[in-house]
Amino acid sequence: MKNIFVLLIGVVVLTLVACNTPAPPAPYGPVPTSQLLEWQKMEYYMFIHFGPNTFTDKEWGHGDEDPKVFNPSALDCRQWARIAKDAGMKAIIITAKHHDGFCLWPSNYSTHTVRESAWKDGKGDILRELSEACKEYGLKFGVYLSPWDRNHPTYGTDEYNQVFANTLTEVLSGYGPVFEQWFDGACGEGPNGKVQVYDWKLFLGVVKKFQPDAIIFGSPYWTVRWVGNERGYADETNWSTFDSEAYFKTEDLSVLERGIENGKEWLPAEVDVSIRPGWFYSPATDDKVKSLSKMLGIYYTSVGRNGNLLLNVPPDRRGLIHPNDSARLMELRKALDAGFAVNLAKDAEIKASNVRGNVSAYGVQNLTDGKYDTYWATGDGQLTASIEIDLKKEQSVNRLVLQEYIPLGQRIKAFGVEYFDGTEWYPIDRQTTVGYKRILCFPSVTAKKIRINIEESLACPILNEIGLYKAEEMLSLPVILRDKKGNVTIRCESDDPIIRYTTDGSEPTANSTRYVKSFNMSAGGIVKAKAFVNGETQSSETVTINYDIATEKWKVLSGNPKTGQENAIDEDPQTNYSFTDVSNIVVDLGEKLTVKGFFYLPLPHARNNVYKYDFYTSLDGKKWQKMKSGAFANIKNNPVRHDVLFDRPTEVRYFKMDILETADPKDSGATIAEIGVLTR
Ligand code: FUL
């Protein structure tokens, strides 16, 4: 009897507590599926571009290459997996079939595969080796397949759809779980090329049948969206909500960077970018692996802006990740681990202007408990709030991490951050969206308190984690510039740095020449510069520029001078020559030079960068010799410099590029940031 009484009292007390705890906020708008939530938590994973292009120095193979060129001498997928794991990545997605149609597995539906290659006498299967290596290292495995196929004889006919569905079946049914199916949307056929109407319903059926939980990138049935560029950033405002129907009507890429507030679908952004200028390995880019500061920047503008980072690390011709790339990945890991080691908010006293129901279930202690599913929330209808973090003593901080509890939707639309130095409050930053994760980087402040003011939210704000950190400040990099006359100047934004440089290819050290005034390098050469601070105990990364001959004597002969033709040869990548009056550029070098090739630098964001071209040279400006006819592969999505070598060095006084097609044939005219010849 007594026991029953105690039990009854217990039930009454529990009911009372439960009555005082308001229900959790109702979800607002679309929310992620459990697969998408798990996907978002992965944050960072590896892209592998590997295939015949690795051996032919191409970005877009034509599909007519001899499959025998594919012959890695020491391929080791376990090395890739080990590096990915050590780098802190959670998965690997591989180009099982790129635009050249070459299959990295012995497909029954193609004759352009590893089976036809020289590698392992045609007995190898890279998907097998990689999927097993991923399993061994606890990484997820994903597959990239390009619907655009420049090899398959049926491409451009109805028959191709079944062929593609069959290849998709092979990769999705033969190698264990696939966490993400990546469909590449690129197609470089141009207005006169082959037209293929894809049967996306058929392809979706295959994914659903064999990998029902797989995330889908690309296609009308995407479940995550491309971020709209291949340069490693989402917009500062980044909604995971989207409206595909509205987007497909305009295909405005900036909408992909930002998402759509109050969009009716949950379609978060994936940021794909390469650690090198191109997607495939080339020995020419061994010294062009992105710097640590660039990589950190990419991390902050992807993971730090509510996106997942898919970082491409292309294996070399041995079939191994090159030491320059792996070293950079480890540096990045080290910098992130060090920067985010101590959460200063953990030992702080946190107060909020409003707590849902005034109960601890939704209290601020949830913000630093490291548990994903506990959160702080305000009462329904309370759309603004501030959270004050009392650090109790002066602390230097320069990073703020906020996480919204996205299982209940994305809500926050505007927020500001301030710090208190003991006397007064000062603003740090004002921003818009948060989403799964938002990292703000700001110059270090010495603060006693930090306050986050949520100024606007679509429904009551819900945050599950807050972090405050002091990461090591990166030293600004020296900026090396050369004018048309060949005079080199080096600048640096850091406070009072000492800049040292070399011109013999060696690494600058504290003993190298100190930069005091500009110097001439009109004949070309290599400049390496480094900034030193704090009595030269600390130094920046090295910046390297490899110059060709200066353009002092050059003149653009084509087009109207009023359109800024000279910008194309002024050695300043920031200026550009954009024109509609002519469809070529003719340049007089002012002297006869022995030329090995040419380069073209497009302008990021221009729609009419050059795609297909014919390139000619001449000794008299009248009789022209065609040296190259080609296309700058992937210029639309990845507008980086292209170097093109002639078959043999040639004597040249004039050069001409005929522009046959631009990246967006609907846009008239063309744009050139820089163009020039290669003589060294
Ligand atoms: C692009 C492709 O054309 C590139 O070659 C690369 O695969 C990139 C990831 O997607 O659209």
**pLDDT tens for each residue of 155-165:** 999 999 999 99
CB burial of 568-586 (b: ≥16 within 10 Å; e: otherwise) equals: bbbbeeeebbbbeebbbbb
Question: Does any ligand 1 atom lie closer than 6 A to the CB of residue 343?
Answer: no
Question: Does any ligand 1 atom lie closer than 6 A to the CB of residue 279?
Answer: yes
Question: Does any ligand 1 atom lie closer than 6 A to the CB of residue 637?
Answer: yes
- Backbone phi, then psi, for 596, in 5-degree steps? -100, -20
The confidence band for 535, taking pLDDT boundaries of 50, 70 and 90, is confident
Which residues neighbour 193 within 8 Å (Cβ) at sequence distance 6 or greater? none
The confidence band for 18, taking pLDDT boundaries of 50, 70 and 90, is low
Residue 14 has pLDDT above 60, yes or no: no
Question: Does any ligand 1 atom lie closer than 6 A to the CB of residue 184?
Answer: yes
Span 583-587, average pLDDT: 97
Percent of the chain with pLDDT over 70: 97
Q: Is 641 in contact with 599 (CB distance < 8 Å)?
A: yes
Residue 579 has pLDDT above 80, yes or no: yes
pLDDT of 473 reads 85
- Which atom of ligand 1 lies nearest, measured to the CA of 637? 11
Quick one: how far is CA 351 from the chain centroid?
A: 37
- Helices 323-339 and 292-302 pack at an angle, to 10 degrees, of 60
pLDDT of 538 reads 86
Mean pLDDT for the chain overall: 95
Q: How far apart are the first and last CA of the chain?
A: 98
Query: How many CB atoms within 10 Å of residue 9?
Result: 10
Q: Is 396 in contact with 469 (CB distance < 8 Å)?
A: no
Q: What is the whole-number distance in angstroms between the Cα of residue 100 and the centre of ligand 1?
A: 12
- The pTM (predicted TM-score) of the whole model is 0.94
Q: Among 264, 227, 226, which residue's Cα sits nearest to residue 243?
A: 264
Q: What gap in Å lies between CA 571 and CA 554, rounded to an integer? A: 11
Residue 13 has pLDDT above 50, yes or no: no
Q: Among 466, 463, 436, which residue's Cα sits nearest to residue 354?
A: 463
pLDDT of 16 reads 46
Which residues neighbour 452 within 8 Å (Cβ) at sequence distance 6 or greater? 386, 387, 389, 400, 402, 415, 416, 417, 466
The confidence band for 5, taking pLDDT boundaries of 50, 70 and 90, is low
Mutational test site, ligand 1, from 637, 640, 642, max ligand atoms within 8 Å of CB:
637
The confidence band for 664, taking pLDDT boundaries of 50, 70 and 90, is confident
381 conformational bin, left if phi > 0, alpha if psi -120 to 50, beta if neither = left
Q: What is the whole-number distance in angstroms between the Cα of residue 300 and the centre of ligand 1?
A: 22
Q: What gap in Å lies between CA 177 and CA 92, rounded to an integer? A: 12
